[in-house]
Each structure stands twice: as structure tokens, then as C-alpha cells.
Amino acid sequence: MKKIGKQSYKLENPVSIINTATIVGPKEKEGPLNKYFDKCIDDEFWGEKTWEKAESKFVKETSNLVINKSGIPATQIDFCFAGDLINQCISSSFGLKDLSIPFFGIFGACSTFVESNILGAISIDGNFAENVLCCSSSHFCSAEKQFRFPLELGNQRPPSSQWTVTGAGATILSKNGNGPFITYFTPGKIVDMGIKDANNMGPAMAASALDTLITHLNDTGRNPSYYDAIFTGDLGYIGKDILNELAKTKGFNITSNYNDCGIIIFDKEKQDTHSGGSGCGCCASVFSGYIYKKILEKEYKKILLIATGALTNSLTTQQGESIPGIAHAISIET
């Protein structure tokens, strides 16, 4: 049995992250992490006619790029796990249709990136696959169109709102390779703390991030200080503050080595992104760009990545339903 403790799993044969790729949009290019991204696109449409087609292109080009970088031909990739925020995951399916790799479209809201990597790692460790492609994406304009208001509408964003990242990140996982390795994972439970404000997703997800973090640490018997860095996906400033504080009440101090991908991708003051970045592409691009390169540079040797998702759609919020959160964690070590 690979299960340890309540809901964490140790991979018998750690799965290697052979390579990553990330392509982001213009706003991310202006952000502090721009030098870590493989490509920054200046045009949000990327030459396409619709936002949705542009997002598909981000998926397609990022996937092609990671395949090229890894040196593993597409014919030798057994599965592809990918997802995004747009209805029925069309950005992923349209973006990956030409690749001819068996495809699983997945949805975990903004936690999709880690979800795809967990599923990829499971299929490799379970001997179902040798190489797996994992990808997730989001696009500010297509997300605003689907979840909020038209872009040209003259309204104000509250201080708690977050800015959906335009971009895609992809990884190639393999049975063979020299790491960094996915060693443990803790899939998250759905946690609903009754938050209903669609403009304040961080706190809705913070409770689930806390649940996954504490469970992971208890299951593995590790302390937060075991990790060089702990990253959450897109809790933003408010969510990060809450997670820091609530972890302390549970007896874990994570303040010194914890950060949030949504916070580091943008410069809050200069870029007017309020509580930070969000979206599937946030965690995906920050991990595939920044964190992965920091691991290769040996700055980080052990990291815990917790991608957080708000399980909602535009109808449920209008119907007054609360926003349940989910958070999946993977432990990546060299």
C-alpha cells in the first residue's frame, strides 16, 4: 500500500519531472517573474479571433514547447492530463487535439495543474504509462467573459479581487530521469466554509489549503521547515495571510518559507492586481517557469506545491451558493 496516514501517498518509484514549459501574456511579461518564462506574448489575442482560441493556442504552443524541450517524441507520451477554466475544458481539448496523445480533460478549478501532475504521477507509478504530459491554462479575457463582466464595462474591482493569469504551463513526467522527483502527494478534500463572495476567492480556498497542508504534514511526519519552500497556487494576499495565521493555530509556523504563486507573479503596486494573480495558469506558469528553474539551480531542493481551486461557476454564485475550495499538494524533491 502506498498510502501513508490519512490521505497522503508515497510514490514507490519517484516520478521525474523531465522538463517544463510556460508561455504567458503581456501583463505577466510586465511582472517580476518575466525572465523565468519561456515566452511572453504581447498580444492577448495572439493573432486569433477570439479569447477562447487564443487560450487554446497557449495550450497548444506550450505543450509543443515542452515536448520539444524534453526530447521525448509525442508518440512516446502515453497520456495527457490537461484542464482549464473555460466551460467543458475546451481550451485544453481544442489546444491538444492535433497532438494525437490519449487525452484526459480534467477540472479542479485553479488546482488543475497539481491535479494533472498527481494523476500523471499515479499512472506512471502504477505502470500504466512511461511518459505523461500535464498541462493547464487560463486567460484573463476568456475568464472575465465567462465569470464576470465584459472587459470594456466601466466598473470597479474591489480590493479583494484577483487577476486571472493569462498563460499556460506544462510538464513532462517520466519513469526515467534524473529529477526533480515527485515523491509524495496529498489529494485534497472539498472544504466549504460558506464564503459566497466571488470577488474574494482567497479565503474560500485558504481553508482547503490549510486542510491539505496540515494533513500532508501530519501524514508524512514532516515539519514545515523540512521544505525549502512551500507554495500555494493562488490564495492571494488575503488568503496567504489567513493560511499563515490559521496554520499557527494548528501548531505549524510556515511564515518563513511560505509564499503564494499569485503574489509573486505580479507587482501589486505597479500592476494594480489587487489581491494577486489567480487561475489555472497562475500556479502552472509560476511552477513551470520560476520554481522549476530554481530547483534546477539548486536554490530549492525540497518544495511543497499546493494548488488551490475555487469550485464555482457563474450560475452557482448568482444563485447564492457558497464557494467550496479544494487544494492538492505535491512534494517535489531533488
Partner 1 sequence: MKDNPLDSQTSYQKYVDEKTPNSPILSNCFHAFLVGGLICAIGQIIFEFCKTKGIDETTCYTIVSISLIFASSFLTALNCFNKIGKFAGAGSFVPITGFANSIVSPAIEYKSEGYIMGVGSKMFTVARSSSCISEFHQVL
**Per CB under 8 A, 156 contacts partner 1:** yes
Binding status of residue 152 toward partner 1 by CB under 8 A: yes
84 vs 82: CA distance, rounded Å: 7
Judged by CB under 8 A, does residue 47 bind partner 1?
no
Q: Report the alpha-carbon distance of residue 208 to residue 234 in Å, rounded.
A: 12
Q: Is 195 in the site for partner 1 (CB under 8 A)?
A: yes
d(CA 14, CA 143): 35
Residue 268 found at the interface with partner 1 (CB under 8 A):
no
242 binds partner 1 (CB under 8 A): yes
- Provide the b/e sequence for 32-45 (b: ≥16 CB within 10 Å): ebeebbbebbeebe
- Establish if 256 lies at the interface with partner 1 (CB under 8 A): no
Q: Residue 60 CB: number of other CB atoms within 10 A?
A: 22
Cβ-contact 307, 112 below 8 angstroms:
yes
Would you state the torsion angle of the CA atoms of residues 52, 54, 57, 61, taken in this order, to the nearest 10 degrees? Answer: -140
C-alpha 233/C-alpha 277 separation (Å) is 9
Which of 83, 177, 203, 279 contacts partner 1 by CB under 8 A? 203
Of 30, 73, 151, 190, the one binding partner 1 (CB under 8 A) is 151
160 contributes a contact to partner 1 by CB under 8 A: yes
Work out the end-to-end distance of the chain between its first and last CA atoms, rounded to an integer number of angstroms: 24
Q: Which stretch binds partner 1 (CB under 8 A): 36-44, 58-66, 192-200, 222-230?
A: 192-200
Residue 201 CB, shortest distance to partner 1, in Å, is 11
Q: Does 77 contact partner 1 by CB under 8 A?
A: no
Judged by CB under 8 A, does residue 149 bind partner 1? yes
Single out the residue of 18, 41, 134, 207 in contact with partner 1 (rule: CB under 8 A). 207
For binding to partner 1 (CB under 8 A), which residues are involved?
Answer: 49-52, 145, 149-160, 192-195, 200, 203, 207, 210, 238, 241-242, 246, 249, 322
